[in-house]
Each structure stands twice: as structure tokens, then as C-alpha cells.
């Protein structure tokens, strides 16, 4: 008997999209004043690109809050091992995982490995980034644009797909995307980066509404220019000009970003979703 020809499947209409059978669980109002509402004890967090810079600060903040943290890196094994040694020396629990989070097979393997070693991922912080050179549009080839899209559109998609089954099953989850103030500022000679980050922000807003019925929050943290290792060779004149424009008149530090990420991952932020939160001393305001 001959098989019937396969027909192209159609995307489901909005009416057919599955939704939870019951409403999201109602949190206790009394718990909002309880210090335990910011504790992440019993949670497992993944921070991509967390061997150095802002990612390291995020991983450390989550560890300090009690989460078991998967520290992720792709390149620079020695740096990653030093970071994880520092992490465990503080008495925190976690693991060190190498993976290219722009590749589907690597992401699926990463999430599975974390599940076996630490437990299923409850919190994912999408932070990994490539180099971000400034250049006029004529000097950006499409390969460079594609790299930006791979990190800031493809990677968030792959990570969400991998962690959502567990989050939906337990009806709790946190997805924190790391954006940038540059989308609002429209920084020149930065078009490929800004375009991809803008797409990531729009995707986050859509996902926030889609996942809210499962008590899964999706927010975007948008740091300003916070000097870390990658900025060691940046011109001092550029740094001075940026600092002069910050209303708070000080540089941000990585812990400023780590603190807001830990808050968004906590129960205290359970009713906060779909937001872009600028961590830049007032350099951009709504």
C-alpha cells in the first residue's frame, strides 16, 4: 500500500494555542514582606556567557541568593575555571558548563546536562555576546549581522524552547534577557548590534504575554556602559564623555546589574513581566 503524500502543516490559529487549564497560582500577599521572597534557595539558574564581565556578576548574585548556578562559557577555559573556583570558594553551589548557545544541539545538550547535575533549569539569564565593534554600515557585512542575530534572537529562542517544558509543568519560571540602553539611544555606527537587540526586546515582550498564564515571567535588563574586561582598551576620551552624561555622575558596576537580575529571578518580582529595565544611572528614562 502506498503512503499518502505528506501535506505541509499549517501554523495553529490563536484559538488553538494551548493554555493552562486553570489560572496561575495566587501568591501570598504576606510573603511580599518576608525576606524569603528574595531567596532563590532550591532554584536552578543558568547564566549564559558568565565566566567574566557582567555575566559573572549575575551568576554570583544568583549564587549569593541561594540558587544553584550553571556558569556557562564557550571560549576561554582557564578564565572560566578561575571564575568557577572563585564561585565555589564562596560556598555557593553550581557547575561549570561549556556550550555554544547559538547552536541548537549544544543548547539542548547543555540544558540536559544541567538537569542531570543540578536539576531542571528554573531561571535562565540570556547574556552571552560576541565582540561588538563600532563601524559605519558600509563596513558591516551580512555575516556580522547574522552573528548578532544568532546571539540575540536565535539563542534566546533556543534557550526558551529547551527550558519551557519544565517551567510550564511546574507553573513557575524566570527568563531574563540582557538588552542594552543603545536601542533607546540609537547609537551611531552600531546598527547591527542595535537591530538585533531591538528584535530581542520585541521578542521578550511577546513572550511575556504568551507565558504569563503559566506564572513564567520574561523581562529585559538594559545596562548602560559598565566598563568590564572588554573595555580595557576603549579610549579614555570616550569614557569621560559618557560619564559626563550620566545623571548619577558615577560609573555603574557589574553588581548593579547582578542585583536587578537576582531580584527579577525571585518571588518578589512574580507580578513583574514584559518590562525593559534600564540599569544606567538615569541615562535613559521612560
Q: How many residues does the chain have?
A: 286
- Asked whether the beta carbons of 232 and 33 are under 8 A apart, the reply is no
State yes or no: is 140 an active-site residue.
no
How many CB atoms within 10 Å of residue 65? 22
Helix, coil or strand: residue 177: strand
Measured between alpha carbons, how far is 205 from 276 in angstroms, rounded to an integer? 9
C-alpha cell at 193: 548590534
- Asked whether the beta carbons of 73 and 48 are under 8 A apart, the reply is no
Using CA of residue 18, residue 201, residue 152, residue 141, what is the dihedral sign?
positive
Please tell me which residue in 73, 140, 157, 193 is annotated as part of the active site. Answer: 193
Helix, coil or strand: residue 175: strand
C-alpha cell at 236: 579614555
List, by residue number, the catalytic residues: 193
Amino acid at each position: 500500500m502506498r503512503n499518502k503524500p505528506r501535506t505541509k502543516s499549517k501554523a495553529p490559529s490563536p484559538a488553538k494555542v494551548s493554555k493552562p487549564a486553570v489560572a496561575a497560582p495566587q501568591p501570598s500577599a504576606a510573603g511580599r514582606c518576608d525576606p524569603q521572597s528574595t531567596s532563590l534557595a532550591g532554584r536552578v539558574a543558568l547564566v549564559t556567557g558568565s565566566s567574566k564581565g557582567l555575566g559573572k556578576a549575575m551568576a554570583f548574585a544568583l549564587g549569593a541568593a541561594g540558587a544553584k548556578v550553571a556558569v556557562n562559557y564557550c571560549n576561554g577555559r582557564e578564565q572560566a575555571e578561575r571564575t568557577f573556583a572563585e564561585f565555589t570558594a564562596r560556598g555557593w553551589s553550581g557547575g561549570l558548563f561549556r556550550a555554544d548557545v547559538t547552536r541548537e544541539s549544544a543548547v539542548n545538550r547543555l540544558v540536559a546536562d544541567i538537569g542531570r547535575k543540578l536539576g531542571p533549569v528554573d531561571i535562565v539569564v540570556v547574556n552571552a555576546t560576541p565582540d561588538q565593534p563600532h563601524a559605519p554600515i558600509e563596513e558591516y557585512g551580512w555575516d556580522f549581522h547574522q552573528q548578532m542575530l544568532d546571539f540575540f534572537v536565535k539563542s534566546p529562542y533556543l534557550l526558551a524552547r529547551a527550558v519551557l517544558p519544565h517551567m510550564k509543568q511546574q507553573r513557575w519560571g524566570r527568563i531574563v534577557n540582557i538588552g542594552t540602553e543603545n536601542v533607546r539611544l540609537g547609537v551611531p555606527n552600531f546598527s547591527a548590534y542595535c537591530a538585533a537587540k531591538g528584535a530581542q526586546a520585541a521578542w521578550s515582550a511577546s513572550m511575556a504575554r504568551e507565558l504569563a498564564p503559566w506564572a513564567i515571567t520574561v523581562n529585559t535588563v538594559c545596562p548602560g556602559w559598565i566598563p568590564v574586561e572588554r573595555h580595557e582598551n576603549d579610549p579614555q576620551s570616550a569614557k569621560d564623555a559618557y560619564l559626563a552624561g550620566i545623571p548619577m555622575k558615577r560609573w555603574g558596576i557589574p553588581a548593579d546589574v547582578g542585583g536587578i537580575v537576582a531580584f527579577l529571578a525571585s518571588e518578589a518580582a512574580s507580578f513583574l513581566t514584559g518590562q525593559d529595565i534600564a540599569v544606567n544611572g538615569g541615562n535613559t528614562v521612560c
